[in-house]
Structure 1
Amino acid sequence: MTRRPAGLLCAGWLALIVLACALADWVAPYDPQEQDLGAVYSGPTGRHWLGTDQLGRDILSRILHGGQVSLPVVAEALAVYVVLGVLFGLAAGYRPGLADRMILRVCDLLLSVPAVVILLAVLAIFSHNESAAMLTLGFLASGGLVRVVRAGARDVRDEPFVTAARAAGLTTPQILRRHVLPRIAGPVISLTSLVAGSALLVETSLGYLGLGVQPPRPSWGGLIAEASQAIFRQTWMLVPTGGVIVLTALALGVLGDVVRDAASDRTTAGALSWRRMRTRVTAPDQEKGVDEEDGDDVLLSVRDLSVRLEGPGGPTRIVDEVSFHVRRGEAVGLVGESGCGKTMAVSALLRLLPAGGTVSAAALRFDGRDLLAMSEREIARIRGRSIAYIAQEPVAGLDPLFTVGAQVAEAVRHHTGLDRRAARARAAELLEMVRLPRPATVMTRYPHELSGGMAQRVSIARALAGEPALLIADEPTTALDVTVQAEILDLLRELRERTGMGLVLVTHDWGVVADACDRAVVMYAGQVVEQTGVDRVFTAPRHPYTEALLAADPSAGTPGRRLPVLAGSVPAAGRWPDGCRFAPRCGFAAGDCTAAPVKLAADGDGTAHRCLHPRHTTTAGG
């Protein structure tokens, strides 16, 4: 909240106006009925800061006293709206059944009746009773909130943490208050702020039509009516009276969005946002890293890349000074177990980190350009056009509401500027390029109609829409059968040979590395522990972690013999051990391995390793 100036400004305005109206009897410079016939229709003066009306009454004083009428009835409408909407929404969403169906039918009825007609009928029965009208408004509007809360509660009720709370013996009210409500607070706050602004305008309209409190008692709607009657004699009257209403309604809407975002930041990972992701460049005068390469053939150069994410205890380093490079037309595999930082490292290149992420690097260059020095608009031009990205879940990356052809053509139009017909023709060419049979038919299908292999090919086709120089593929063969996996790898190899693009392949599958990569960069606990050519990594690994991963590869196992298992797991970020991070799981660890951090050492032939005892890992084949 404190990091959002708009929210602070709106909160300050609302606090000021509410406090001033509540204390109007003390802070208003005049009685709202006090007349000054010598200053009729006066503009702003030293005596009357906002001018006077047709009877010389002080407009500022009447606005403050009018707020004592308008703001309380708006609060009444909101109270009814929130209480009914949240209570019945939770009842319908958390406990489905007869009550759920009955509540939904009532909501349908509330949403279908004309609210204006109902309000006029209430005012006909309770003449000039704004409280009755606004309570009715809150009741009629609550049907929309009930549906929103119900949908949120249905999504949350089956989450593992809710099941665990039930197993722990928490009562239903406790679960709703502590586990369900915080997850649906965002949309509730947003809708409430919008209804607050609408209720204020409705109350103003009632006063303007003469259906609210009667003169001479001031109300904001009555002040608007008086200003409209004097529009040709004193136009200024409409400025302060209408201005306070407009500013208050806008402040309610903006503040609701800010509070919603703040609540979402506390309960979710947050949306991907460059505004909350900061880029910091470390001192460029360091010595050249062991992996940094020079030359015109180097497409991507990454040196000492580090990534931190915000956590409950403050920033946590996820990636720790990773360095690697990719030459034009070269395929580099990032290998390691889950949790080693592979995805975070490649996401940082395109600034696709979760909210609050921080990137630092000694150098981050693509095709001779400094990525760290680029603005968000410049990076946006790079994404998809020069550097394409294929996410782990191909189907999840496709919008279920649009056909395959529409989504691929959309990417083509964005990157090339072609018209619709030409873009669809190009989309068909791309689908044919990725070996999809009957591209015209596939273009008419929706994502749910595709198999895993087809969805992956569509993702690749969309990534190629901008003719990128570098393709980053994050686990492109995960969850695919062996046959489809081989076809995808063949496709990537063919595309690389045909277009000359570089490839960064994130994987934990050594078979993928052997089939599709020229070099391997092995990561563990956020660090690069070894990088070398693919041929050498299989015949003479230098780091014990690399050797252990190779030994545990099922494709390298011998029938009838137990497959070696790498004991333990990757330590969580922020809990990395001192010294060599692999030492607790390493069978060759010695006392010096835990004494101090181990640096990445170059072997002198374009390879490097992070081990004090690399001789233990040389196999017979090396």
Structure 2
Amino acid sequence: MTAPSAAAETAARPGLGTRLLRNPLAAGSSLVLALVALAVVLAPWIAPFGPNEGDIADAHQSASGSHWLGTNAIGGDIYSNLLHAGRYSLTGAALTLAVASVLGITAGLLAGYFRGWFENAATAVIGLLLALPGMIVLLAARAAFGPSLWTSMTIVGILAAPAYFWVVHASVSAVRREPYIDAARVSGLSDPRIIRRHVLAAVRGPIFIQTAAVAGAAIGVQAGLEFIGLGDPNMVTWGTMLNDGFKDLYAHPMLMIWPSLMVSTVCVAFTLLGIGLRDTTEGAAAPRTRRRKRPTPSPTAARTADRDGALLSVRGLRIGYPQPDGTVTEVVRGVDLDIARGQVHGLVGESGSGKTQTAFAVLGVLPEPGHITGGSVLFDGTELADAHERTYAPLRGLRIAYVPQEPMSNLDPAFTIGYQLAEPLRRRMGMSRAQARTRALELLDRVGIADPEGTLRRYPHEISGGMAQRVLIAAAVACDPDLLIADEPTTALDVTVQAEVLDLLRDLRAERGMGVLLVTHNLGVVADLCDHVSVMRAGEIVESAPAARLFDAPQHAYTRELLAAVVDDEGPARPPLSTPNEPVPREAAE
């Protein structure tokens, strides 16, 4: 018997609801909470008596056919009171949860993703909330506004917001450095879209756990406040039932047992549900979204006069990183290069020479706090040096595309290949779901993937590195860009797949007339694919020439060292390269 294929396994993967039911913790706790919620919602119809309705002559009766759980000190039916009290207790907890989650999650997402002044301000406010004595604030609110359940639970929600903030902020700060987030930005997706579809998908597990913890805590805090007399005496809740039962604790202990049992059952169920949801949703398929019509962008934007007809013209580019002592370390100094339409321009040099930093400057995605300190980046007449994000929005993904190195880490593990290919097509090109899927199949077929249909349904961990690189190339050329920036596109591939990828890039360049900036340290790749070559060392271009002339007659000593260091069948041609005269930190330069 043969093992099922990866595509078949993916196609047979159960949905989120099915996997939720198969998880004992999630299914059991969901059932308990659903039964409690249903009972309290239907309380007006299934409760034999109203809240606190009773006859003093029936006080402290034991369980019977008329009163299933007995009666309290005023003859009220305990079973009916539990159901009616649950309506207010659960609604109060929901209010706390809504306030805490909206404030904490929103602030945590924005602070962790955008950083800067908002992160500083949000952190200061959250620190202030943590420093406030909650009980004093609640007592002051009660004195100012009276005994109100809704006011108290709103204040508790505000005080609980830091619990969400720190969890979300830490998770988002880690996720935003993942390569697939940069890949989503380069593909042209907006920041709100990336946050909603990629960042939230990665941090939802901690959010589920925190939501369960806050929901359980809200039930407990509310019951505690009303138990000590800070609640509304005219409103029956589980907390007020605890308060009433405590007065007759020794004579009639069951008056406290029943509300205590309800509070503890709901709190435990919320905790178990959070754990079950966290476990169930890890790796869940992308949720469906409603189709929205988007206007198809114009294939060309308004253009001004370019520089000598070049598609991309870089002049005097300088990139710096601020240091703790107030100085700025420049990792790229005075780079000049031009790329014409249909030309492959190779940018070569040893690791740490500033190649990737130059590419990131063109894309507008320099790592913080790096920034362009001088020079010009002119793309088809549009100046990009230190341009606002609004300038890049109509370019990235549509006219400037990016193929990163390390293909596996640039695909979001939470979404299928098909979703990650179709999303930019739908958002940037205005395609329908069916059109985007058809286009994705065409792209996968064009980049040489044998089973496009099956690949669309797979997740990144189900494909090889070579297939992942082809998928990224397909995504990059999906919108027919004018400029393709390929950053070490063959580094992680074996020799056979490397040759296939180079042939693919060559064919795509010929078909679409793209300009290509190829960032690499592999001179063999440069000789095979590039028309023009610029050699970088220590953040500077030391030589630039047509590929054939550079390989036949290199002018700069460093270029000759690079060529001499190429390994052939005889081994290295000479000792390793000498140390640059002006070294820069490799962490910053690359």
Correspondence for 1:505: 518
Post-superposition shift, 1:372? 3.3
1:303 lines up with 2:315 in the alignment: yes
Correspondence for 1:359: 372
The one-letter amino acid paired with 1:426 is R
Post-superposition shift, 1:391? 0.6
1:59 lines up with 2:144 in the alignment: yes
Correspondence for 1:473: 486
Post-superposition shift, 1:383? 1.3
1:324-339 to 2 correspondences below 5 Å: 324-339=337-352
Change in CA separation of 1:336 and 1:4 when aligned onto 2, cut-off 3 Å: same
Q: In structure 1, the residue corresponding to 2:534 is in which secondary structure?
A: strand
Change in CA separation of 1:192 and 1:311 when aligned onto 2, cut-off 3 Å: farther
1:579-594 to 2 correspondences below 5 Å: none
Instruction: Answer yes or no: is the 8 Å Cα contact 2:406–2:492 preserved in 1.
Output: no
Q: Deviations over 1:152-192 (max 9, x none)?
A: 9xxxxxxxxxxxxxxxxxxxxxxxxxxxxxxxxx9999999
Aligned mates of 2:586, 2:439 — CA distance in 1: 49
Aligned mates of 2:234, 2:314 — CA distance in 1: 63
Instruction: Answer yes or no: is the 8 Å Cα contact 1:309–1:354 preserved in 2.
Output: no
Instruction: Answer yes or no: is the 8 Å Cα contact 1:305–1:320 preserved in 2.
Output: yes
Change in CA separation of 1:411 and 1:23 when aligned onto 2, cut-off 3 Å: closer
Instruction: Answer yes or no: is the 8 Å Cα contact 2:345–2:534 preserved in 1.
Output: yes
1:294 to 307, 312, 326: 307
Change in CA separation of 1:379 and 1:206 when aligned onto 2, cut-off 3 Å: same
Instruction: Answer yes or no: is the 8 Å Cα contact 1:409–1:427 preserved in 2.
Output: yes
Correspondence for 2:223: 206
1:396 lines up with 2:409 in the alignment: yes
1:442 lines up with 2:558 in the alignment: no
Q: In structure 2, the residue corresponding to 1:396 is in which secondary structure?
A: helix
Q: In structure 1, the residue corresponding to 2:420 is in which secondary structure?
A: helix
1:575-614 to 2 correspondences below 5 Å: none
Post-superposition shift, 1:21? 3.8
1:408 lines up with 2:421 in the alignment: yes
Post-superposition shift, 1:200? 7.5
Change in CA separation of 1:423 and 1:194 when aligned onto 2, cut-off 3 Å: closer
Change in CA separation of 1:417 and 1:188 when aligned onto 2, cut-off 3 Å: closer
Change in CA separation of 1:530 and 1:293 when aligned onto 2, cut-off 3 Å: farther
Post-superposition shift, 1:11? 3.9
Post-superposition shift, 1:206? 2.3
Correspondence for 2:28: none
Correspondence for 2:535: 522
Post-superposition shift, 1:59? 2.0
Change in CA separation of 1:330 and 1:223 when aligned onto 2, cut-off 3 Å: farther
Aligned mates of 1:330, 1:424 — CA distance in 2: 30
Post-superposition shift, 1:22? 8.7
Correspondence for 1:8: 124
Q: Deviations over 1:188-247 (max 9, x none)?
A: 999999799768744663267x4x212xxxx4x459979xxxxxxxxxxxxxxxxxxxxx
Instruction: Answer yes or no: is the 8 Å Cα contact 1:335–1:509 preserved in 2.
Output: yes
Aligned mates of 2:373, 2:469 — CA distance in 1: 32
The one-letter amino acid paired with 1:573 is V
2:362 to 349, 356, 359: 349
Change in CA separation of 1:448 and 1:198 when aligned onto 2, cut-off 3 Å: closer
Change in CA separation of 1:562 and 1:422 when aligned onto 2, cut-off 3 Å: closer
Correspondence for 2:576: 566
Aligned mates of 1:567, 1:461 — CA distance in 2: 36
Post-superposition shift, 1:10? 4.5
Post-superposition shift, 1:479? 2.9
Q: In structure 2, the residue corresponding to 1:468 is in which secondary structure?
A: coil
Aligned mates of 1:324, 1:205 — CA distance in 2: 66
Q: In structure 1, the residue corresponding to 2:319 is in which secondary structure?
A: strand
Change in CA separation of 1:312 and 1:190 when aligned onto 2, cut-off 3 Å: farther
Q: Deviations over 1:546-593 (max 9, x none)?
A: 1000001114x6x3x7621224456652599xxxx9xxxxxxxxxxxx
What is the count of residue pairs matched by the alignment?
A: 361
1:52-451 to 2 correspondences below 5 Å: 59=144, 201-202=218-219, 205-206=222-223, 210=226, 212-214=227-229, 219=230, 221-222=231-232, 294-295=307-308, 297-310=309-322, 315-372=328-385, 374-451=387-464
Instruction: Answer yes or no: is the 8 Å Cα contact 1:523–1:529 preserved in 2.
Output: yes
Change in CA separation of 1:435 and 1:8 when aligned onto 2, cut-off 3 Å: same
Q: In structure 2, the residue corresponding to 1:381 is in which secondary structure?
A: coil
Change in CA separation of 1:19 and 1:377 when aligned onto 2, cut-off 3 Å: same
Post-superposition shift, 1:443? 2.7
Correspondence for 1:458: 471
Instruction: Answer yes or no: is the 8 Å Cα contact 1:305–1:361 preserved in 2.
Output: yes
Q: Deviations over 1:448-469 (max 9, x none)?
A: 3333322211111111111110
Change in CA separation of 1:381 and 1:541 when aligned onto 2, cut-off 3 Å: same
Post-superposition shift, 1:431? 1.5
Q: In structure 2, the residue corresponding to 1:388 is in which secondary structure?
A: strand
Correspondence for 1:531: 544
Change in CA separation of 1:313 and 1:565 when aligned onto 2, cut-off 3 Å: farther
Q: In structure 1, the residue corresponding to 2:450 is in which secondary structure?
A: coil
Change in CA separation of 1:194 and 1:573 when aligned onto 2, cut-off 3 Å: farther
**Which has the bigger relative contact order, CA under 8 A and spacing at least 6?**
2
The one-letter amino acid paired with 1:213 is I
Change in CA separation of 1:364 and 1:443 when aligned onto 2, cut-off 3 Å: same
Aligned mates of 1:446, 1:403 — CA distance in 2: 4
The one-letter amino acid paired with 1:206 is A
Aligned mates of 2:206, 2:454 — CA distance in 1: 44
Correspondence for 1:131: none
2:563 to 550, 560, 570: 550
Change in CA separation of 1:381 and 1:553 when aligned onto 2, cut-off 3 Å: same
Post-superposition shift, 1:357? 2.0
Aligned mates of 1:562, 1:12 — CA distance in 2: 62
Name the Cα RMSD after superposition: 4.3
Aligned mates of 2:485, 2:533 — CA distance in 1: 14
Aligned mates of 2:124, 2:208 — CA distance in 1: 19
Instruction: Answer yes or no: is the 8 Å Cα contact 1:293–1:325 preserved in 2.
Output: no
Percentage identity across paired residues of the two chains: 41
Aligned mates of 2:306, 2:433 — CA distance in 1: 42
Post-superposition shift, 1:470? 0.4
The one-letter amino acid paired with 1:385 is L
Change in CA separation of 1:481 and 1:198 when aligned onto 2, cut-off 3 Å: closer
Structure 2, unpaired ranges of 5+: 1-115, 175-202, 237-304
Aligned mates of 2:127, 2:551 — CA distance in 1: 62
Change in CA separation of 1:19 and 1:338 when aligned onto 2, cut-off 3 Å: same
Aligned mates of 2:467, 2:133 — CA distance in 1: 59
Change in CA separation of 1:384 and 1:188 when aligned onto 2, cut-off 3 Å: closer
Post-superposition shift, 1:307? 2.0
Q: In structure 2, the residue corresponding to 1:353 is in which secondary structure?
A: coil
1:607-622 to 2 correspondences below 5 Å: none
